[in-house]
Structure 1
Amino acid sequence: MAGLYTDQLKLGLDDVGWVFAIEQSGSIVGALLGFWLTPRVSWRPLIVGAAFLAAVANAFTANVDGFAALAALRFASGLGMMVATLVSACLLARSPNPDRAFGAGLTLNCLLNAVFVWLMAKLLAESGYAAAILSAAGLFGLILVLGLALSGDLRGDFEAPPATPESGAVRLAAARTGLAGLVLFGLAINMIWVFLERVGLSNGLQAGDLGNAFALGLLAGTAGSAIPFVVGDSGNRARMIAITTAGLVAGIALAWWATDYWTFVAAVAILASVWNMGLAYYMAMTAENDPTGRYTRAIYIAVVAAQAAGPAIAASLLEFSHIGTVFAISPLPAIFALLLVAAVAGAPRVEGSSLAR
């Protein structure tokens, strides 16, 4: 969507960067605000209010005519979107099978995004800029309506099940490992994601082909989020995280060596798939071992932190090295996360605990 208001307002590259950074800042504030509000406020008015804020911000974006107003609206949109997303994640965390629940949520999110991109392109071609931007407001309006259907009794007052001090300590260790793994896995993929287009161009691919390859690869990446949904917790979470990490390494290598269209599509599809799988498994590991909900409420703080830190680390490496070094180093945080999971999964089991399985 950024490209739409960039063209409409004739923004320069520096202004585009600032608008994107401000919207990301709104997401960070939303993640922190949601962390504080979810245990204190009923979830129905919280998700309805957040969706309303995002819907209004996107509706006004359709008619904005200045940089300052655009920046304020995108900040509000990012904030509302993140609070609504965090409440949705807390709802999924209460499922008896969080692997399957997070997988289903991510699959639905991927499919809705694919439909949204198609709808926005169609509206832009047939009805113009304002109608295309308003479709985003309509999407948040749908979230608002769904939020109204939630029970008013839902809130973040988790109750810890009876457990021995030993089992409580082991479960918290698993929850912390899941959260740390989410940050590390996010760092790995965010270090290289913003450079995929540049690498494709360097390998001889055309700009138009790259755009199509990204669209097709992201759509194919829906398969990755469907794997936790189909497999659930029966596939041994530690083993599935190992498969996800191996897929990440393969996807990064394939993207680096891709010199034709279909190889690049395959690389994007693999990376999108393993990103969804990593999100589902690390979120589930955190939620299942977090009876108080404290670490579960922090999962999107972890996600936005990795989104901000990954490109920054890569940019720092590029100050004194080649982009090939970034691609070579990027899997290391994910591999370290896997080692942490393996250590927790191999710890002595305590009655009442639920580890990486």
Structure 2
Amino acid sequence: MTDVSPRAPGLPKAAPDGLIAAVLLSFMATAGLFYVNIMPALVSGLQDGLGFTARAAGLVAAMNVYGAAAGAFAAVFVVDRIAWKPAALGLLFALIATDLVSTELTVAPVLMAVRFGHGLIGGFLVGISFAVIARTKAPDRTFGMLLVVQFGLGGVGLLFLPGLVPKFGTPVLFLALAAFSATAALMLPFLSAYPARSRSPEAVAARGLVRWAPLAAALVAVFMFQAANMALSAFVIDLGRAYGLAQPFISATLATANWIGALGSVLVVMIGLRFGRLKPIAYGAVLTVLGALAFLRSDLAWMYVVANIVTSVVWAFVIPYLLGLCAAFDPGGRIATLAGFFSKLGLASGPALGAVLLQETHFPRLVTLAVTGLCLSAAFALVPAQTLDRSS
């Protein structure tokens, strides 16, 4: 199948299951949640540009993602009954408007409320995107491409945005988000229709055979994995500063780690399910715990670099398998959207718990929280992964 279909009327459409479509879908899904990929820059930027405390900045970021979790949950109930393209376009314009409003706000509680609304809109968009991705032939592959886009462009943001905030203020952060949403809106017309799959009597009967206990465990694994990783990621700039590292070194490290981290997603795209899901998730869990523990020796600059690279690569490698694990239980898309809700709930809870636990920048406590969450995630994921591997 070619990557572009010439038979579609009007503008050319990317082949539904081709590489170009995977990239376009990834941009659409990323637009609703791109602030997560520049979260360290956002948290440090609110402190540097507006004088927020670490706790206040962390809570602003957390409210943004809690809104996304609520939006993703709402999408679960309507995602297979709406015209997703017009809805996505309207949501992208709403995101742009909310980001522009955010550039004028300087009070933490007001900004928390507005960013919660922004998250609500973006979460609904991501919920739609996840449902559409679940309608492709290989959702794991597309989820892998999603992480390639997120880590690659996130690295660009982490490289430049922390240095731009002292010059242009915090509005530059929100303008960057608005520009990304505008880019995704321009890409939307080139996507195919991806209609919801009809529920035949056989498909309805098959849903009754779904083993809901393994599915619930997989959803919890997604939540724990995202919460543990984001608890560290949101404050990784502050962590580096606390260990005496210079901001230019920190920014270069984070950007490089994100770019190298994208290789984890590339690996998912390349190998797919060749080795099943159990082995990639299990091996990834071990590596990500070791990477998190390495942050405890950030007084050694090279250990800070290693910790960031390892956690970025493994994060980008494991989360597509966890999301694909959930999507495999229902190709209609609802479970994938529900997985998106649990993912965003974890991404929000990480900065929130981190902000509470920091208490005078107590970073070893933060690392302990992250390692505990990563271990719990692996424990919950093993049974559903083994269940699907056996059934395949």
With normalisation by structure 2, the TM-score equals 0.73
Q: Which residue of 1 aligns with 2:371?
A: 331
Say which is worse superposed, 274-283 or 293-302, in terms of deviation. 293-302
Q: Which residue of 2 aligns with 1:53?
A: 94
CA distance, structure 1, for counterparts of residue 185 and residue 273 of structure 2? 31
In the alignment, is the contact (CA less than 8 A) between 1:251 and 1:270 conserved in 2?
A: yes
CA distance, structure 2, for counterparts of residue 200 and residue 69 of structure 1? 29
Which of 247, 259, 262 is the matching residue for 1:219? 259
Determine if the alignment matches structure 1 residue 245 to structure 2 residue 285: yes
User: Could you list the per-position Cα deviations for residues 236-281 of structure 1 after superposition, in whole angstroms to 9, with x for gaps in the alignment?
Assistant: 2110001110111110122222432222111111111222222100
In the alignment, is the contact (CA less than 8 A) between 1:172 and 1:290 conserved in 2?
A: no
Residue ranges of structure 2 left out of the alignment (5+ in a row): 1-40
In the alignment, is the contact (CA less than 8 A) between 1:160 and 1:292 conserved in 2?
A: no
Determine if the alignment matches structure 1 residue 289 to structure 2 residue 323: no
Determine if the alignment matches structure 1 residue 20 to structure 2 residue 65: no
Q: Secondary structure at the match of 2:202?
A: coil
Say which is worse superposed, 119-128 or 239-248, in terms of deviation. 119-128
Determine if the alignment matches structure 1 residue 205 to structure 2 residue 245: yes
Determine if the alignment matches structure 1 residue 298 to structure 2 residue 338: yes
Shift of 1:306: 1.5
Q: Which residue of 2 aligns with 1:350?
A: none
CA distance, structure 1, for counterparts of residue 253 and residue 377 of structure 2? 29
Shift of 1:155: 5.2
Sort the Cα spacing of 1:242 and 1:27 in 2 relative to 1 into closer, same or farther, 3 A.
same
CA distance, structure 1, for counterparts of residue 47 and residue 368 of structure 2? 33
Q: Which residue of 2 aligns with 1:41?
A: 82
Say which is worse superposed, 204-213 or 252-261, in terms of deviation. 204-213
In the alignment, is the contact (CA less than 8 A) between 1:158 and 1:293 conserved in 2?
A: no
Q: Which residue of 2 aligns with 1:31?
A: 72
In the alignment, is the contact (CA less than 8 A) between 1:341 and 1:356 conserved in 2?
A: no
CA distance, structure 2, for counterparts of residue 254 and residue 140 of structure 1? 35
CA distance, structure 1, for counterparts of residue 112 and residue 217 of structure 2? 36
User: Could you list the per-position Cα deviations for residues 47-97 of structure 1 after superposition, in whole angstroms to 9, with x for gaps in the alignment?
Assistant: 1111110112223444x2553775554334323322222222222222222
Say which is worse superposed, 23-32 or 128-137, in terms of deviation. 128-137
* Letter paired with 1:46: A
Which of 157, 178, 181 is the matching residue for 2:221? 181
* Letter paired with 1:301: F
Say which is worse superposed, 89-98 or 327-336, in terms of deviation. 327-336
Identity of aligned residues (%): 22
Say which is worse superposed, 220-229 or 114-123, in terms of deviation. 114-123
Q: Which residue of 1 aligns with 2:142?
A: 101
Sort the Cα spacing of 1:181 and 1:143 in 2 relative to 1 into closer, same or farther, 3 A.
same
1:110-259 equivalences in 2 (<5 Å): 110-116=151-157, 133-151=174-192, 154=194, 156=196, 159=199, 162=202, 168-170=208-210, 172-194=212-234, 196-197=236-237, 199-201=239-241, 203-259=243-299
Shift of 1:187: 3.3
In the alignment, is the contact (CA less than 8 A) between 2:162 and 2:251 conserved in 1?
A: no
* Letter paired with 2:265: S
CA distance, structure 1, for counterparts of residue 141 and residue 197 of structure 2? 23
* Letter paired with 2:245: L
CA distance, structure 2, for counterparts of residue 17 and residue 332 of structure 1? 20
